[in-house]
Amino acid sequence: MLNFGNKKLHGDTPEMREVAARICRDYLHGAWRKVTAEDIGFKHISGGLSNLLYHISLPTDLYESYYTKKHHSQEPKEVLIRIYGQTHGEGALEALITESVIFTLLSERGLGPKLHGIFPGGRIEQYINARPLLNKELADEKLSVKIAEKMAALHSMEVPLYKEPTWLWNTIGRWLKTCDKKLKGDIPEFVVTLLRDVDLKSEAKWLRKRLEVENSPVVFCHNDMQEGNILMSMDQDKENNAEEDPELVIIDFEYCSYNYRGFDIANHFMEWVYDYKEDNYPYFRENRSNYPSETQRLTFIKSYLHARGSKENPKKILKEVEIFTLASHLLWTLWAFVNAETSQIPFGYWEFGCSRLQAYFQLKERLSCNMQIKRKVECLSLD
pLDDT in tens, 54-79: 999 998 888 777 776 555 556 899 99
Q: 66: domain CATH number?
A: 3.30.200.20
Its pTM surpasses 0.75: yes
118 and 165, same domain (yes or no): no
Give the range of the structural domain holding residue 355, as residue numbers without chain letter. 131-382
**Predicted pLDDT at 355:** 98
- Measured CA to CA, the distance from residue 178 to residue 198 in angstroms comes to 16
Beta-bridge mates of residue 79: 56, 126
355 and 296, same domain (yes or no): yes
CB 34 within 8 A of CB 21: no
Q: What is the pLDDT of residues 21-50, one digit of tens each?
A: 999 999 998 889 989 999 999 999 865 566
**Predicted pLDDT at 269:** 98
280 and 210, same domain (yes or no): yes
209 and 288, same domain (yes or no): yes
- Measured CA to CA, the distance from residue 207 to residue 210 in angstroms comes to 5
- The reply to whether 106 falls in a domain is no
CB 250 within 8 A of CB 111: yes
123 and 136, same domain (yes or no): no
- The reply to whether 278 falls in a domain is yes
Lowest-pLDDT range of 82-86, 148-152, 300-304? 82-86
Q: 321: domain CATH number?
A: 3.90.1200.10
- The reply to whether 297 falls in a domain is yes
In the chain, % of residues over pLDDT 70: 86
Q: Looking at the chain, how many residues does it have? A: 383
Q: Residues 224-231: what's their mean pLDDT?
A: 94
122 and 180, same domain (yes or no): no
In the predicted structure, residue 361 carries a pLDDT above the cut 60? yes
299 and 215, same domain (yes or no): yes
How many structural domains comprise the chain?
Answer: 2
Backbone angles phi, psi at 235, to 5 degrees: -65, -25
**Predicted pLDDT at 239:** 47
**Predicted pLDDT at 90:** 57
154 and 232, same domain (yes or no): yes
- The reply to whether 157 falls in a domain is yes
Strand order in the sheet with 248-250: 130-132, 230-233, 248-250
82 and 213, same domain (yes or no): no
179 and 281, same domain (yes or no): yes
117 and 152, same domain (yes or no): no
Q: At what angle do helices 141-155 and 294-308 cross, to 10 degrees?
A: 40
247 and 354, same domain (yes or no): yes
Q: Residues 318-329: what's their mean pLDDT?
A: 98
- Confidence category of residue 233, pLDDT binned at 50, 70, 90: confident
- The reply to whether 2 falls in a domain is no
- The reply to whether 6 falls in a domain is no
